[in-house]
Amino acid sequence: MGRAGGERLSDRGLLPGRYDPRFARVFGWYTRRLLRKRFFAVRLAREDAAMLRGLAHHEGPLVIALAHPSWWDPLLAVLLAREFLPERSGCGPMDADQLRRFGLFRRLGLFGVDPDDPASLRAMGDYVAEVFAREARPTFYVTPQGHFTDPRDPVRLRPGAAAVAAAHPMARAVVVALEYAFWQDQRPEAFLAAAECRPARRTMTGWHRTLQSSLQAEADRLALLVRARDPEPFETLVGDEQASIQPVYDLWLRVTGRGGAIAARRRAEEATGPR
């Protein structure tokens, strides 16, 4: 299964990761700077922040299943880890061919799998079980949709996240909906909503149904918040400085006495009236 000139997959059919906490801290710092540069703001639904902070000290494994609408999604996972789960180790699957190209991601705990090989599910489960047994507070990050999916499409998940959660009785699981939109600035904004999943039955089927329905519910909730264009229901993780329309137009507005940059918060307050 290996390729000439590249590292071969192990006998179990995956490329192991090697989590490095120091590298993870540095990469988290870099990721935050990058997001601040590329996005006007990154916002998390305010009521979800306390839940995420509360999971930081969970002694068992944690499974975080993220929606996958964009290339930026894994970097938002890095931001969540930095802001809410800094003392937890991380691991997660990545296409093995891509991981060979970007090998430094192995130091974040990412391991390579062949997404088209049915045997990868079992290999991943065995590997994650070893990581969970080795690490004190392990976290498994995964985008179980398996490919880029528009946030307006119905949520359909592959079984990997459910298989991992079902195999570990002490595991807790969180779904994270993601969406990207333009509000008041030239740059886009990233939005997140999260919820913990509690299946009635901790079987693989029970976990799969709960993860899928929970991610759908969070996607629907987040869509309503984003369409409202009101920053108040969100906690800002990155950015949210004064928004600008366009530098030349901003200058024209100031010269004509009509103000310059638009603040998203001010516009939202004017639209909704006094609180």
Confidence of residue 241 (pLDDT cuts 50, 70, 90): confident
The strand ranges marked E within 123-229 are 138-142, 172-181, 189-197
- CA angle at 41 for the pair 36 and 43, rounded to the nearest 5°: 125
Q: Are 93 and 127 in contact (CB under 8 A)?
A: no
Q: What is the pLDDT of residue 13?
A: 79
Domains of the chain by range and CATH? 14-241 (3.40.1130.10), 242-275 (no CATH)
| Percent of the chain scoring above 90 in pLDDT | 80
* Mean pLDDT computed over 247-269: 53
Cα separation, 19 vs 237, in Å, equals: 25
Q: What is the pLDDT of residue 4?
A: 36
Quick: pLDDT tens for 150-208: 999 999 999 999 999 999 999 999 999 999 999 999 999 999 999 999 999 999 999 99
| Percent of the chain scoring above 70 in pLDDT | 83
Q: What is the pLDDT of residue 261?
A: 45
Indicate the pTM of the whole model: 0.86
CA atoms within 13 A on the CB side of 263: 8
- Give one word for 251, left, alpha or beta, with left for phi > 0 and alpha for psi -120 to 50: alpha
Quick: pLDDT tens for 166-177: 999 999 999 999
Q: What is the pLDDT of residue 10?
A: 61
